[in-house]
Amino acid sequence: MSTELNEEQIQHILQGIKIPPQPQILVDIQMEQVMPDPDISRIAQLISQDVGLAGTVLKFVNSPMFGLSNKIASIAQAVSLLGLKSVVNIINGISIKGEMSDEHIVELTRFWDTANDISSISANIAKKIGYQSPDEAYMLGLFHNCGIPLMIQRFPNYLQVVEEAYSQVEKRITETENERLNTNHAVVGYYTAKSWNLPKHICEAIAEHHSAERIFGERESRNPEKKTLLAVLKISEHICGNFHVLGRQSEDHEWNRIQKDVLEFVGLTNYDVDEMKESFSEMGVSVSNYR
């Protein structure tokens, strides 16, 4: 059962949405919506590949006007609840015309590419280890770096700071950002996810995704679900070469520090990681050849 939203409701919820969607995704959605019989499942699939669009749709469906008892983390479920007309109106309400320069689009390409690959691999790893909600693993993979586009918009030198942060052998990535910019993408991402009404444990995982050394150093966990999601995310980031694509590094210093504790927690080995790399590569997913 879908709930159709009027224009006033859509404009109210769209306030504050700043993460621009991928131009090609918008084109693909527009092409699908003008078909004689639009495929809503195809539209949901396209939305789930984009951080900004997925976050906006979840913000709508998790808003008080729907009165849901549990927050939704599944794009397919959210689109089904909203209905085709409301989803199309939401997408049409997100205009990036005149707001993104060619240079800005190029800068964001690194972010979009890693978000799509990491979310896909996270869902697959979640299934492999028997985690009960691959949709949540997908969502964390998609949204964990949602603060980055906002940091790029705010700080012209942000990508240079990111590269410096990833080059540190011992220091946490967010520590370098804090020193240079007095904030970091994990904190900004947390508040962005919170504004989208994402489940609390996913918001917290976004805030803590560069604090893995502390979290996995604790033998007793008060929230094993969040810890499992973080483990899946860190493995996925390493497999996708986030350190190389975003950080422009040839070695994953963060992974070197945390891999033993992360893999031990989920019952995997480095051999398993290498096997997954090979498997994902055969599936056409971009994986890293670096270590």
Tell me the per-residue pLDDT of 246-255, one tens digit each, with 9 for 90 and over: 999 999 999 9
**188-216 burial, b for 16+ CB within 10 Å, e for fewer?**
bbbebbeebbbbebbbbbbbbbbbbeebb
Residues 125 and 18 in one domain: no
Count of domains in the chain?
A: 2
Select from 93, 124, 154 the last residue of a domain: 93
Say which residue, 171 or 67, is predicted with more confidence.
Answer: 171
The span from the CA of 261 to the CA of 216, in Å, is 6
- Inter-CA distances, 47 with 30, 84, 184, 225, 234, Å: 12, 12, 26, 26, 24
Q: Is there a contact between 272 and 265 (Cβ–Cβ < 8 Å)? A: no
* pTM, 2 dp: 0.78
Averaged pLDDT score across all residues of the chain: 84
Residues 110 and 224 in one domain: yes
Which among 67, 80, 94 is positioned nearest to 11, based on CA atoms?
94
Q: Is residue 1 part of a domain?
A: no
DSSP for residue 76: H
Residues 86 and 156 in one domain: no
Q: Is residue 287 part of a domain?
A: no
Residues 88 and 106 in one domain: no
Q: Is residue 108 part of a domain?
A: yes
Residues 263 and 134 in one domain: yes
Residues 69 and 200 in one domain: no
Tens-place pLDDT, residues 167-213:
999 999 999 999 999 899 998 888 888 878 788 899 999 999 999 99
The span from the CA of 30 to the CA of 275, in Å, is 38
- Return the CATH number at 140: 1.10.3210.10
pLDDT above 90: residue 45: yes
Select from 66, 93, 120 the last residue of a domain: 93
Residues 132 and 80 in one domain: no
Residues 117 and 243 in one domain: yes
Which among 181, 162, 160 is positioned nearest to 172, based on CA atoms?
162
Residues 43 and 128 in one domain: no
Average pLDDT over residues 220-232: 85
State the pLDDT at residue 185.
Answer: 93
Domain encompassing residue 224? 102-282
Residues 276 and 193 in one domain: yes
